[in-house]
Structure 1
Amino acid sequence: MHTQVLRWQDRVRRRTPRIAGLSRLCAIVLVAPLAFAPVGGAMGADPEVVLQCPANAPDPDALCAALSAALETVLQDAKSTRHIRQSQISPTDSSQTAGADTLRLVLSDIRRDRISGHLRWQSGDGSLRSGPEVALDVMDTALSAEMYPRFARGLLQASPEIIKDLSD
Structure 2
Amino acid sequence: MEDASLFDAAGIQLPRRATGHSDGHRPRLNVSRELELGKAAEHLACADLLLGGWTAYTTDQGLPYDVVVDVGNQLVRVQVKSTFCPKNPQPSNRSTPAYFFNIRRAGKGGKRTYGESEFDVYALVALDRRAVAYFAVIDLPTSCVVLRIPGAHYGFSTKQFRTFEGATFEHALDRLQPASTATG
Q: TM-score, normalised by structure 2?
A: 0.29
Quick check: which one's helix share is greater?
Answer: 1
Structure with the greater alpha carbon radius of gyration = 1
